[in-house]
């Protein structure tokens, strides 16, 4: 049985216009050790999220006023890293499946079972961030540098077929965006695009996330649940960080790619699937094959069409355009519609190396927008946030001498502590401020003794 740790700092927002359901679910989550709070409408939920971000949203689908689907859409736009679990009655399971195709992390059936609630919530929190889908025609957002024009030309050539595509490149270069562009350019564009974030889930959860499970497959499996393979029927299934898939799952994935068949966890029936497979990795899969950590036959099955996406430092001409784009999005999401980057700010941004690539730039622009005092964001604002990003020692820092490793650890402690203060203790928000995944953030907390 999967149970959350007690005394966790992860917070959950419950949204249900039925007080009986909302209060019971809120009490259950609180008793299990999470910091849970309940509101009775979608409008209240958005206001609450603006005031105090949550690590997870659990919302009913059918509510008066703003329904759960609209709340899901608006939450994904304004809080893209916060997973959403939807509640639905047995008779409206197709609606819940539509919600998952729209980006919900999972769904719960009412009346819900206590163990299933704990299992689903734990899985959703483990899954981590969920990136919002860009609008149709995502290829327009890939950039206009020579390198990215070559990438887009390759995507256009392979889009009409069904060949498996392996997207390669450093973390944060935009591999998922490229996968979505491939989907948008293909005949499957009107069918689902479903992403599986392989690095965010442990082996036991990854298998159920991929293939689904039958009722009674394990403690907490109170009903049959579709997996990502089933949800992607007719569309595209994207495996992010495919190198993180454990060996036991690699065997089942190889069969899925070769035969287009799978079984749900706890079931004996074999199902056929019609999906386009796209995978992404930032590491060298060839090295993993040599080390015996990744199956050679799976590697060749995945890399039918390999496409390399260049890092942002090799396409600096895109930085200004990307920065303006992210600024407009973050300004709208944070009620600062007049916010804009001036010429000096854009020039300084374009001069940076951005080792975290587009993802780092996006998070950096979000911080600029959040902490700007006026509509115009200038060079001084950029320099201030660059200092925070680099963890430059501030007056009163505890450790200015010692070994390089000790100084590095102290700088990381200072940066994480500052981010937690700015995020008012919300770890997901703090990870977002630092430009790292929640999983990396938790690993750093443990490594630095900050848990």
Phi and psi dihedrals of 435, rounded to 5?
75, 30
What's the token pair of residue 447? 């490594």
Distances (CA, A) of 405 to 278, 419, 424, 426, 438: 39, 21, 28, 27, 23
Among 191, 209, 214, 298, CA closest to 253: 298
Mention every residue, 6+ apart, whose C-beta is less than 8 A from residue 225: 106, 107, 208, 212, 213
Three-state secondary-structure class, residue 67: coil
Judged against a pLDDT cut of 70, whether residue 139 lies above it is answered with no
Question: Which residue ranges form the domains of the chain, and what is each CATH number?
Answer: 11-127 (3.40.50.2300), 138-310 (3.40.50.300), 313-447 (1.10.8.60)
Confidence grade of residue 399 (pLDDT, cut at 50, 70, 90): very low
What average pLDDT score do residues 410-423 get? 76
Digit-coded pLDDT (tens) for 289-344: 999 999 999 999 999 999 999 999 999 999 999 999 889 988 887 778 889 999 99
What is the model's pLDDT at position 445?
Answer: 77
267 vs 387, more confident: 267
What's the token pair of residue 283? 């590491």
What is the model's pLDDT at position 208?
Answer: 85
What average pLDDT score do residues 206-210 get? 86
Whole-model pTM: value is: 0.67
């Amino acid at each position: 049985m999967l149970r959350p740790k007690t005394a966790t700092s992860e917070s959950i927002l419950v949204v249900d216009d039925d007080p009986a359901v909302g209060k019971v679910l809120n009490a259950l989550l609180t008793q299990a050790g999470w910091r849970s709070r309940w509101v009775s409408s979608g409008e209240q939920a958005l206001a609450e999220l603006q005031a105090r971000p949550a690590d997870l949203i659990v919302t009913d689908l059918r509510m008066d006023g703003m329904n759960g689907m609209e709340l899901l859409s608006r939450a994904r736009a304004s809080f893209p890293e916060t997973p959403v679990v939807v509640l639905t009655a047995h008779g409206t399971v197709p609606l819940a499946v539509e919600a998952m195709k729209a980006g919900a992390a999972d769904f719960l059936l009412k009346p819900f079972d206590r163990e299933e609630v704990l299992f689903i919530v734990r899985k959703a929190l483990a899954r981590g961030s969920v990136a919002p889908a860009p609008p149709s025609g995502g290829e327009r957002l890939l950039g206009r540098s020579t390198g990215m024009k070559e990438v887009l030309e390759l995507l256009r050539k392979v889009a009409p077929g069904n060949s498996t595509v392996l997207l390669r490149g450093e973390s944060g270069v935009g591999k998922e965006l490229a996968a979505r562009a491939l989907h948008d350019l293909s005949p499957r564009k009107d069918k689902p695009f479903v992403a599986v974030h392989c690095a965010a889930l442990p082996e036991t959860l990854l298998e159920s996330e991929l293939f689904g499970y039958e009722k009674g497959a394990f403690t907490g499996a109170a009903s049959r649940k579709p997996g990502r393979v089933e949800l992607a029927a007719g569309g595209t299934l994207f495996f992010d960080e495919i190198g993180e898939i454990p060996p036991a799952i690699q065997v089942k994935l190889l069969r899925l790619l070769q035969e287009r068949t799978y079984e749900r966890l706890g079931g004996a029936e074999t199902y056929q699937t019609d999906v386009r497979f796209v995978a992404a990795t930032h590491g060298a899969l060839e090295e993993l094959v040599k080390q015996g950590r990744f199956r050679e036959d799976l590697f060749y099955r995945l890399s039918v069409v390999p496409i390399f996406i260049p890092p942002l430092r090799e396409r600096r001409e895109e930085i200004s355009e990307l920065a303006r784009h992210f600024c407009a999005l973050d300004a709208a999401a944070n009620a600062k519609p007049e916010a804009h980057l001036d010429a000096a700010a854009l020039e300084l941004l374009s001069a940076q190396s951005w080792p975290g690539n587009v993802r780092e730039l996006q998070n950096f622009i979000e911080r600029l927008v959040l902490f700007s005092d006026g509509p115009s964001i200038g060079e001084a604002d950029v320099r201030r946030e660059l200092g925070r990003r680099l963890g430059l020692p501030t007056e009163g820092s505890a450790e200015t001498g010692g070994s390089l490793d000790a100084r590095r650890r102290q700088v990381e402690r200072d940066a994480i502590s500052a981010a937690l203060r700015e995020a008012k203790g919300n770890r997901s928000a703090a990870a977002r401020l630092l430009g790292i995944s929640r999983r990396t953030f938790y690993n750093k907390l443990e490594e630095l003794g900050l848990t």
